Homo-oligomer: A and B are copies of this chain.
Amino acid sequence: MNKNWCVVESGYDVNNHYKNETIFAVSNGFIGSRATFEEGYDGDMDKTIEGNFINGFYESEVIKYGEKGYGFPDVSQTMLNVPNAKGFEIYINHERCNIFTGNITDYKRVLDLKRGLVTRSYIWSKNALSVYVEIEKFASMTHKNKLALRLKVKPITPCEVKVISFIESKVQNDTPRTNARIDYGPYEPVLLEVKRNRLEMIHRTKHTGFDLITHLHHSLEGEYFEEDDRIGEIFYGHEITLDKVISYHASTDEDLSKLNRKDFSYDELKQAHLSYYQDFWNHADVSIEGDDDLQIGMRFNMFHLLQATGRDGKTSVGAKGLTGEGYEGHAFWDTEMYALPFFLYTKPEIAKSLLEFRYHTLDQARDRAKVMAVDGALYPWRTINGEEASPYFPAGTAQYHINADIAFAVWRYFEVTGDMDFMKIMGTEILVETARFWFSYGDYIDTKDGKFCINGVTGPDEYTAIVNNNFYTNSLAKENLINACKSLDLLAEEERTLLQNKLDISESEPSKWLHAADNMYIGYNKEKGLYPQDDAFFDKAKWDIENTPKEKFPLLDNYHPLMIYNKQVSKQADIVLAIFLLEEKFDLETIKKHYDYYEAVTVHESSLSFCIHSILASHIGYHDQAYDYFMKSARLDLDDVHNNTHAGIHMANLAGTWMCIVNGFGGMKIKQGNLHLDPVLPEKWDAYAFTMSFKGTTFKVTVKDQVSFEYLEGPGLDVHLYGKKVRIEC
């Protein structure tokens, strides 16, 4: 076991159980399974939450509003707890064996990040009996429908072993416990059929009517049994090693009538899975010398980010990945602005699949635009299926910047990969439809010198809602409008004509977008020498952060939204994020000035905030602040800093820590399509290194006393190191 690659739980403490069910959860972008105890949990029921999820598989209920308005989403989308097939019951001479029934020694749980495996083992003793129990588990990265477990029960003193392995049908969502503000009620799939001949259950969801097949394959032959809520097999022996491979197949993902039920052995799956991880780390590893806790934190973050993310083009990545019910499994802008950059420079095919999800849900976004009485497409603020599921519009629908975020990600994807095929078929269509939204939504306003204004929006900062001309929104909408034109220009004559016909784009339409972009209103306060976050931001009194009692944070849980909205206080990076994204447009003085002002009015009550501040602080030369913000971000889940890791990992933050290293300390920027690196070495470290790809070339950057590059694969690349061109090639 390599200590820099393993998260280890040595000895069981019930108080960590909640959190560790998230930390040790395994998933593969399709299946997610919390690290509940497979052999049964007899401990404090308030310290455990069962959770087995399928990305894209959800249930809906009518959303009740205090007062419903036109265009409010009618139904919820809630990632559903699916039948649990992980379960074992272990009996030693008829005594139930789990960690609550006997004397436990040598308890150990290891999450091996390098190999993507979780292993839990202990010695159970009771009445002079003693056995060694071990469960190894992974969600296959190469076979997305498969969750695989290997149970070993090895007697230390001679005994009879009986193992029951089963699918448990009676599950329900637990959201009320994890989020007291929302009571979504129980979501239960309905059992359609039990297929005894092949250890299989078929369920249908009550409202959405989706089908799910849960299939179980054992490496041993057992005795079939069937009870109220479960089916399974019973195994007897003096020592048992039992592999079980669980397959989930969902009608949201494939045509179940055409299902090919090929079984794979545990070892076959494991072999492929290990290869996948080997390749992943070859393309993505970040090493830090001089701080082992940080090293493990970074790798933990990348591991969880990878396993959280849908890779099939039909699904996205939820704010909590597939590790908990928080945010109902919804995907937000976190996907494009946080997760996607990580994949773009490490596994670009995953970045692409995330954008494909947006392309495949473009029709839902077009429908939403119609409801909102605007042209083009309007992507949902939160969603599983592509439809808007946000029931609170001031911090939901009003965050139109989601459109510009997706457009930004499309263009950045193209800049980094040069993938014209994607642009031809999908990218340009997304850019055009989102640009149309902005053009139709905004207005030329005479009191603003006839400039193009975007009113009535909420920017990234959810503590300042429904404002006019949010700097972030206007800046990114401008990029959206420009890049829609650019992407049309990229196309060959014939392709362009085809797309113009398909989308009914007139010859003059793109020039209108450009005109709006050229005339985009960007407010500026001369006296302060600052861009205001929005038209009225400086017209509000500052929230007295210093004199607010500690227990009154987070503000949203302790103050009415109106009382927060009417003050200068930012939940998270807003203008600071815009500056990071468009950094080449600003000089250092401007960056510094804005960072100074806005950092002081920001309370970082979103896990999306620390990392952005760390990056800009690093670029400005505020090295201590950069490091402090990085540290707040780096082990947020591992150390359960926000005391809510039990509800699921903080996906965007995981990605943010990677950005802290690569964009922040590494100083990685794209300027005019070229890759720039300006690394600094944090004082407390001896060295750090990261592997990344750009335009098909993969290389490792090591920052020590000096910066060195190691070419790994691809055609070769020019990198601007501290402004000087360096060639990386074979």
Q: Is A398 an interface residue (CB 8 A)?
A: yes
Task: Please provide the chain A residues from 510 to 567 with a CB less than 8 Å away from any CB of chain B in the complex.
Answer: 525, 527, 535-536, 538-541, 556-563, 565-566
A453 to B374, CA, bound (A): 34
Which one of A66-74, A406-414, A654-662, A710-718 contacts B?
Answer: A66-74
Q: Which residues of the partner chain B approach A50 to less than 8 Å between Cβ atoms? A: none
Which chain B residues border A67 with CB–CB below 8 Å? 181-182, 391-392
The reply to whether A468 and B397 contact each other, CB–CB distance below 8 Å, is: no
- Which of B70, B540, B557 touches A556 (beta carbons < 8 Å)? B70
Contact B562 A397, beta carbon cutoff 8 Å:
yes
CB-defined contacts of A443 to chain B, threshold 8 Å: 540-541
What's the Cα separation between A72 and B525 when bound, in Å?
Answer: 35
Which residues in window 57-93 of A have CB below 8 A to B? 63-73
- The reply to whether the CB of A394 lies closer than 8 angstroms to some CB of chain B is yes
Give the residues in chain B near A465, CB-CB below 8 Å.
Answer: 466
Which residue, of A63, A394, A565, has the highest number of chain B Cβ atoms within 10 A?
A: A394
Residue numbers in B under 8 Å from A371 (CB-CB): 560
The answer to the question of A191 belonging to the interface, with a C-beta cut-off of 8 Å to chain B, is no
Contact between chains at A562 and B445 (CB < 8 Å): no
Does A241 sit within 8 A of B, measured CB to CB?
no
Instruction: Tell me if A197 counts as interface (CB < 8 A to partner B).
Output: no
A126, CB-defined interface residue at 8 Å: no
Contact of A65 with B68 in the complex, beta carbons under 8 Å:
no
Chain B residues with CB under 8 A of A72: 66, 560
A562 with B68: in contact, given A445-B541, A540-B443 (CB under 8 Å)?
no
A393 & B70 in contact (Cβ 8 Å cutoff): no
Taken together as a complex, chains A and B put the C-alpha atoms of A535 and B566 apart, in Å, by 13
Bound CA–CA A539/B456 (angstroms): 11
A190 at interface, CB cutoff 8 A: no
* Residue A373, interface by CB 8 Å: yes
- A447: which of B445, B457, B538, B562 is its contact (CB, 8 Å)? B538
Instruction: Closest B residue to A394 by CB, please name it.
Output: B394
- The chain B residue with its CB closest to the CB of A183 is B64
CB pair A69 B556 closer than 8 Å: yes
Min CB gap A410→B, angstroms: 25
Rounded to whole angstroms, the CA-CA distance of A250 and B538 in the bound complex is 52
For the side of the interface on A, what is the size category? 35 or more
Provide the bound-state CA to CA distance between A392 and B63, in Å.
Answer: 15
In Å, the complex CA distance between A457 and B397 comes to 20
- Given A443-B541, A448-B539, A539-B445; A70-B557 close (CB under 8 Å): yes
Interface membership of A372, Cβ < 8 A: yes
* A282 on interface, CB distance cutoff 8 Å: no
Q: Which residues of B contact A561 (CB under 8 A)?
A: 69-71, 393
Q: Which residues of B contact A527 (CB under 8 A)?
A: 447
Q: With an 8 A cutoff between CB atoms, is A252 at the interface? A: no
Indicate the member of A73, A393, A397, A561 with the most B CB atoms within 10 Å: A561
Residues of B within 8 A of A70 (CB): 556-561
In the bound complex, residues from chain B placing their C-beta under 8 Å from that of A448 are 539
A392 and B66 alpha carbons, distance in the complex (Å): 7
List residues of A (26-80) whose CB comes within 8 Å of B's CBs.
63-73
Q: Within the assembled complex, what's the spacing in Å between the Cα atoms of A20 and B558? A: 48
Q: From B373, B455, B541, give the contact of A559 (CB < 8 A).
A: B373
Smallest CB separation, A517 vs chain B (Å): 18
Mask of A676-688 contacts with B, CB within 8 angstroms, 1/0: 0000000000000
A565 contacts B456, C-beta separation under 8 Å: yes
CA distance A128 to B183 in the complex (A): 63
Q: Are B69 and A539 in contact (CB under 8 A)?
A: no
Give the residues in chain B near A535, CB-CB below 8 Å: 536, 539
- Would you give the shortest CB distance from A380 to chain B, in whole angstroms? 13
Do A560 and B455 touch (CB < 8 A)? no
Top 7 nearest A-B pairs (CB, nearest first) are A66-B391, A456-B566, A71-B560, A443-B541, A64-B64, A67-B392, A455-B566
List 17 additional contacts besides A70-B558, A447-B538, A536-B536; criterion CB under 8 Å.
A65-B391, A66-B391, A67-B391, A70-B559, A70-B560, A70-B561, A71-B559, A373-B560, A397-B562, A447-B539, A448-B539, A455-B566, A457-B566, A466-B565, A468-B566, A535-B536, A535-B539
User: Can you list 30 residue pairs at the A/B interface with Cβ under 8 Å?
Assistant: A64-B65, A64-B66, A64-B183, A65-B65, A65-B391, A67-B392, A69-B556, A69-B561, A71-B560, A371-B560, A372-B562, A373-B560, A373-B563, A374-B563, A393-B560, A393-B561, A443-B541, A444-B541, A445-B540, A445-B541, A447-B525, A453-B539, A455-B541, A455-B566, A456-B562, A456-B566, A466-B565, A535-B536, A535-B539, A536-B536
